Amino acid sequence: MNKPEGQQQFKKKLNPMDVWAIAFGCIIGWGAFINPGEKFLPNSGVLGTAIAIAIGAIIMIIISFSYAYMIKKHPKAGGEFIFAKQCFGRIPAYICGWFLIAAYLSNVPLNSTALGLVVDGIAPGSLHFGFSYEIAGKTIYLGEILLACGVLILFAVINMLGTKKAGIVQTILAVLLGSTVIVLVIAALASPLTKWSNMGNIWGYFKLPDDPKLGGIGITSSIFATLAIAPWAFVGFETIPQAAEEFKFSFKKVIFIMVIAILFGTFVYVANNTITALVIEKWPEYIASGGSWPLLYAAQQILGKIPGTIILAVAVLSAILSGIMGFYMASSRLIFSMGREGYLPKRFGTVDKKHSVPQFAILFCLIISLVGPFLGRNALSWFVDMASIGTSIGFGFTCLAAFITMKKEKDGSIFMKIITLSGLAFSIVFIVIQLVPIGGLGVNFSIPSYIIFAVWIVLGAAFFLWQFLSKKKIEKDVESLNEDNVEKNEEQ
């Protein structure tokens, strides 16, 4: 049987290292390097952050077993969307895919806007040229827009040139990212400036004399404040099934690749946070006083200003660029899959014959992403709040699909069924704590994010109805045409 148009096969070009690089590069972004000063140390301290990230990693590993199981059952581009379609039908699959598009695609422009922050941290004001304006309290300069847009275009082109080329670039970036963080750890352990006594407030800010900025925080709240953002922190390992059709290795290796990517991500988060506290004496006062980018300051202290700046710049740039590359791949494969299955216009579900990639889907991702730098990082953060929700929804559908598939096919051990239900429970908890304000943890949506979330739901419903009605009209026209042809043949 001939394959219908838009059902072309991908070429199997990705080896295990490429796939690990995609997952690891998506997990670790700019946030892993800036959040020690903005969220982790203030909210959870050194020990609170380490415990929260470790628990988060365990939860993600539990969830990853459901992904590994479902990839073997349905090794098609689209991942969670395909799992939902096979187990729950058309509407649940569309809901899953629609929110995953928001999760993956929003991370592409957000990573690009972080480039301006890196350059500004290393060479302050160097991109502040041309026209400027303000959105959501953030001043946006032409220089920052040009840099972000240029990188978005470059990496879209690399993706369009073929999966193998993109995989090679992604692997190089991921190795650079991991290597530079290891260098920072070794330098910190060898430095005389590193003092274990500097860790001080291991659970976060405790009330210090005459300083109202440093309020107290409980141990449970300390851990939960960081654990609650685990879906955001580890978003990326679940991008692996999006490229399942391009694996040139056994699907049995998927669980191993996912776990290694999660563990590497855990190492980077904990290492960056701990280095910052070990090196900077009285880090609570330093952060509370508005000290900018404490990890950069720590790197400069232990390696020297220029070497420290270079090492950290390479690490952060590798994280940002690998995030852009990885989420381009995940977004385009998801959109391709939804197009191929008829949930999006048919053009999205086509593969370029020369390079064997969904070029139209990649081009669409580029066009949407190019809007991001003009909005600025603060406004984009409202959209990215949906990334955690979209990811958690994907987690939930995958875990439930794995459980149902095991029951239906009488497959899987009792242990695996418990694992899948545990993953489903964690997914629901993550969704609830983001959508419902709980105990002042500050992890739920902001007001603009709630508005955008509602708008995204309305847009999704409207688009689904439009697609559904269009398909019904086409089917009705085809049926009517066939009836007319039958009548003509009978008359003849």
Give the residue with greater pLDDT, 188 vs 282: 188
CA distance 34 to 117: 10
* Range in 23-27, 92-96, 209-213, 255-259 the model is least confident about: 209-213
Mean of all residue pLDDT scores within the chain: 85
Percent of the chain whose pLDDT exceeds 90 = 48
Domain ranges of the chain: 16-445
pLDDT at 207 over 50: no
pLDDT digits (tens, 9 = 90+) for 180-200: 999 999 999 999 888 888 777
Q: Is 125 left (phi over 0), alpha (psi -120 to 50) or beta?
A: left
Read off the tokens for 146.
């040009």
State residue 443's pLDDT score.
57
Q: How confident is the model at residue 440 (pLDDT cuts 50, 70, 90)?
A: low
End-to-end CA distance of the chain: 32
What's the whole-number mean pLDDT along residues 299-316?
A: 92
Four-residue CA torsion sign, 76, 80, 84, 85: negative
State residue 217's pLDDT score.
58
CA distance 55 to 61: 10
Please enumerate in sequence order all residues whose Cβ is within 8 A of that of 402, keeping only pairs 6 or more positions apart, or say none: 65, 66, 69, 70, 83, 412, 416, 420, 423
B/e letters for 436-466, b = 16+ CB within 10 Å, e = fewer, are: eeeeeeebbbeeebeebbeebeeebeeebee
Read off the tokens for 428.
């629901």
* Range in 195-199, 271-275, 433-437, 477-481 the model is least confident about: 477-481
CA 81 to chain centre: 16
Q: How many beta carbons lie within 10 A of that of residue 320, not counting itself?
A: 26
What's the whole-number mean pLDDT along residues 144-168?
A: 94
State residue 478's pLDDT score.
42
The SS3 of residue 205 is: coil
Give the residue with greater pLDDT, 62 vs 221: 62
Helix H or strand E encompassing 173: helix 163-190
pLDDT at 166 over 70: yes
State residue 4's pLDDT score.
40
CA distance 136 to 327: 25
pLDDT at 271 over 50: yes
Read off the tokens for 135.
């959105």
What's the whole-number mean pLDDT along residues 132-140?
A: 88
138 φ, ψ (degrees, to nearest 5): -110, 125
State residue 421's pLDDT score.
96
What's the whole-number mean pLDDT along residues 127-134?
A: 90
State residue 471's pLDDT score.
63
State residue 388's pLDDT score.
78
The SS3 of residue 351 is: coil
pLDDT at 138 over 80: yes
Q: Residue 296, class by beta-carbon neighbours within 10 Å (0-12 exposed, 13-18 middle, 19+ buried)? A: buried
State residue 463's pLDDT score.
85
What's the whole-number mean pLDDT along residues 407-423?
A: 91
pLDDT digits (tens, 9 = 90+) for 4-53: 444 457 888 899 999 999 999 999 988 899 888 888 888 888 888 999 99
State residue 481's pLDDT score.
41
Helix H or strand E encompassing 138: strand 138-141
Using an 8 Å Cβ cutoff, are 337 and 239 in contact?
no
State residue 38's pLDDT score.
82
CA distance 367 to 162: 19
Helix H or strand E encompassing 488: helix 447-491
pLDDT at 2 over 80: no
CA distance 60 to 263: 10
Token look-up 């995609």 returns: 22
Read off the tokens for 327.
């989420």
CA distance 386 to 442: 15
State residue 439's pLDDT score.
57
State residue 444's pLDDT score.
62
State residue 489's pLDDT score.
47
State residue 441's pLDDT score.
53
Give the residue with greater pLDDT, 355 vs 332: 332
Between CA 121 and CA 108, with CA 54 as vertex, the angle to 5 degrees is 45
- By DSSP bridging, strand 132-135 and strand 138-141 are antiparallel
State residue 212's pLDDT score.
47
Read off the tokens for 450.
């709630």
Q: What does the DSSP assignment read for 94-110?
A: HHHHHHHHHHHHHHHHH
CA distance 236 to 229: 14
Using an 8 Å Cβ cutoff, are 101 and 386 in contact?
no
Token look-up 């070029």 returns: 359
Helix H or strand E encompassing 152: helix 142-160
Most confident by average pLDDT, 218-222, 332-336, 382-386: 332-336
CA distance 451 to 40: 27
Read off the tokens for 29.
């972004």
State residue 486's pLDDT score.
44
State residue 205's pLDDT score.
66
What's the whole-number mean pLDDT along residues 423-430?
A: 92
Read off the tokens for 97.
């895919």
Domain formed by 16-445, architecture? Up-down Bundle (1.20)
pLDDT at 288 over 50: yes
State residue 226's pLDDT score.
85
Read off the tokens for 189.
């352990």
State residue 425's pLDDT score.
95
Q: How confident is the model at residue 438 (pLDDT cuts 50, 70, 90)?
A: low
pLDDT at 125 over 50: yes
What's the whole-number mean pLDDT along residues 445-459?
A: 85
The SS3 of residue 178 is: helix
Q: How confident is the model at residue 228 (pLDDT cuts 50, 70, 90)?
A: confident
State residue 302's pLDDT score.
93
pLDDT at 72 over 50: yes
